[in-house]
Amino acid sequence: MKEHMTELFPLCRSITGEGVRETLRAIATRVPLELREVASGTQVLDWTVPDEWNIRDAYIARDGERVVDFASSNLHVVSYSEPVRQELSLEELRSHLHTLPEHPDWIPYRTSYYDRDWGFCLTQRELESMTDGAYDVVVDSTLEPGSLTYGECVLAGEVSDEVLLSTHVCHPSLANDNLSGIAVLTELGAALASRPRRLTIRLLFIPGTIGSIAWLARNEAVTERVVAGLVVACVGDAAPLTYKRSRRGIAQVDRAAGHVLGQRDGGRVVDFVPWGWDERQFNSPGFDLPVGSLSRSREGEFEEYHSSADDLDLVSEGQLEDALAALLEIVDVLERDERYVNLAPRGEPQLGRRGLYPSVGGGAQAEEQLALLWLLNQSDGRSSVLDVAERSGLPFGVLAAAAERLVGAGLLAEAPPP
């Protein structure tokens, strides 16, 4: 996954533009992604799709030498900067320059999507080395009607109930936020595409906010089928995994993710707040979709947030793999949770003569036997395997496997729908 991130790192993404399209085409080589276009000016819920922004080059030069150069980092240009070709003094230039004084070697990441403006970002050190004089300022961009692009991949399952998995693709050269989300969601999609599915999986690679709003505006009928969802971002840094609950708080996805993170050291579960990433739109009260958010550090929680220090050294393959594993576990819980009825509910059944003594040895044996007993005790048609996982503290996977053995032994049967 870090390889994928490295490939995508230099592309200049924004909420629209070729950088996004190139990124989505790269993802589409790994998962069956379809690109969707929404024309600038389209009304989407309370918003309007903005003009499309593209940039070829930008620099500040002095005596023919570039002192700030888009080619060396796409963070140098404020996203959505309108075209500029001027000669300006340092004084006139200053108000268009952005730095991080408290981090003199970092370039900030700035955007100006909804105010027509232009600017450059650079390190505080670079700024301080600029002397008075005439600067050639060039932003070779276009900002004109075009379209917004997002990627969508639907992996059909046995049922039309959907799990919505979404990540944002609108940031340029920032690794954790959010090439990590792009890499992990791509890998997750590839893994889910290659295995049987009960639930339908829908992956979205979207520009933040305007992307989810555009998707919601065009997919009302789909939202009725969303039974669970996760917005994935910032999953590569050193912090432990964090799950932020949906607005509902106790939806199945909240319980599934809570269980999976609870089985790990250091996993953190936080309550819903209407701040963060695209979960804000999915959880708006008119949709109230059961969509949580999985990340490591959350927005603003890491020092390097929205700066050039959010580079490929900040994320590790191990953390990406671990996030992917957690996501696969959460989807597994959603896929396999089931209510059962104990067919021999009066007293415990005799496990020995049914060959139900644990099939594994050692410490796992005690856990497996307890799993059998918990399922037998709790399966009155109302409690599901996830309910039992919460009550017993046993891992869902162990319980689901034990349930299968009990079904095979004729002791458990799937409960009828309520």
Number of alpha carbons in the 13 Å side-chain half-sphere of residue 176:
29
Residue 342 engages a copy of itself in binding (rule: CB under 8 A): yes
Residue 370 engages a copy of itself in binding (rule: CB under 8 A): yes
> What is the β-pairing status of strands 226-232 and 242-244?
unpaired
Residue closer to a copy of itself, measured from CB, 328 or 343: 343
Binding to a copy of itself, residues 183-222 (CB under 8 A): 209, 212-213, 216-217
Out of 2, 171, 280, 306, the only residue in the binding site for a copy of itself (CB under 8 A) is 280
Residue 407 engages a copy of itself in binding (rule: CB under 8 A): no
What would the two tokens of residue 11 be?
Answer: 């592309």
The answer to whether residues 241 and 322 touch, using CB atoms and an 8 Å cutoff, is yes
Q: What CA–CA distance (Å, rounded) separates 11 from 22?
A: 8
Residue 397 engages a copy of itself in binding (rule: CB under 8 A): no
Out of 128, 158, 380, 414, the only residue in the binding site for a copy of itself (CB under 8 A) is 380
Task: List the one residue out of 92, 87, 127 whose CA is nearest residue 106.
Answer: 127
Residue closer to a copy of itself, measured from CB, 5 or 388: 388
Q: What CA–CA distance (Å, rounded) separates 104 from 359?
A: 60
Residue 363 engages a copy of itself in binding (rule: CB under 8 A): no
Residue closer to a copy of itself, measured from CB, 66 or 354: 354
Residue closer to a copy of itself, measured from CB, 64 or 352: 352
Residue 345 engages a copy of itself in binding (rule: CB under 8 A): yes
Number of amino acids touching a copy of itself (CB under 8 A): 42
Q: Give how far Cα 204 sits from Cα of 43, 48, 256, 323, Å.
A: 20, 20, 21, 18
Q: What CA–CA distance (Å, rounded) separates 3 from 179?
A: 11
Tell me the three state secondary structure of residue 209: coil
Residue 286 engages a copy of itself in binding (rule: CB under 8 A): yes
Residue 416 engages a copy of itself in binding (rule: CB under 8 A): no
| Residue 111, φ and ψ in degrees, nearest 5 | -135, 160
Residue 246 engages a copy of itself in binding (rule: CB under 8 A): no
Binding to a copy of itself, residues 116-145 (CB under 8 A): none
Residue closer to a copy of itself, measured from CB, 82 or 367: 367
Residue closer to a copy of itself, measured from CB, 240 or 381: 381
Task: List the one residue out of 159, 38, 149, 135 whose CA is nearest residue 86.
Answer: 135
Out of 26, 28, 35, 45, the only residue in the binding site for a copy of itself (CB under 8 A) is 45
Q: What CA–CA distance (Å, rounded) separates 256 from 325?
A: 14
Residue 40 engages a copy of itself in binding (rule: CB under 8 A): no
Out of 275, 301, 317, 355, the only residue in the binding site for a copy of itself (CB under 8 A) is 275
Determine the residue type at 44: V
3-state secondary structure 229-255: EEEECCCCCCCCCEEECCCCCCCHHHH
Residue 357 engages a copy of itself in binding (rule: CB under 8 A): no
Q: What CA–CA distance (Å, rounded) separates 386 from 4?
A: 34
The answer to whether residues 412 and 341 touch, using CB atoms and an 8 Å cutoff, is yes
Span near a copy of itself by CB under 8 A; candidates 15-23, 29-37, 68-76, 280-288: 280-288
Out of 119, 208, 229, 349, the only residue in the binding site for a copy of itself (CB under 8 A) is 349
Task: List the one residue out of 239, 261, 152, 255 whose CA is nearest residue 200.
Answer: 152
Q: What CA–CA distance (Å, rounded) separates 389 from 196?
A: 24
The answer to whether residues 320 and 235 touch, using CB atoms and an 8 Å cutoff, is yes
Out of 61, 222, 344, 401, the only residue in the binding site for a copy of itself (CB under 8 A) is 344
- Min dist CB 10 to a copy of itself, Å, is 31
Residue closer to a copy of itself, measured from CB, 137 or 216: 216
Residues that bind a copy of itself (CB under 8 A): 44-47, 114, 209, 212-213, 216-217, 247, 271, 273-275, 280-281, 283-288, 342, 344-350, 352, 370, 373-374, 376-380, 391-392
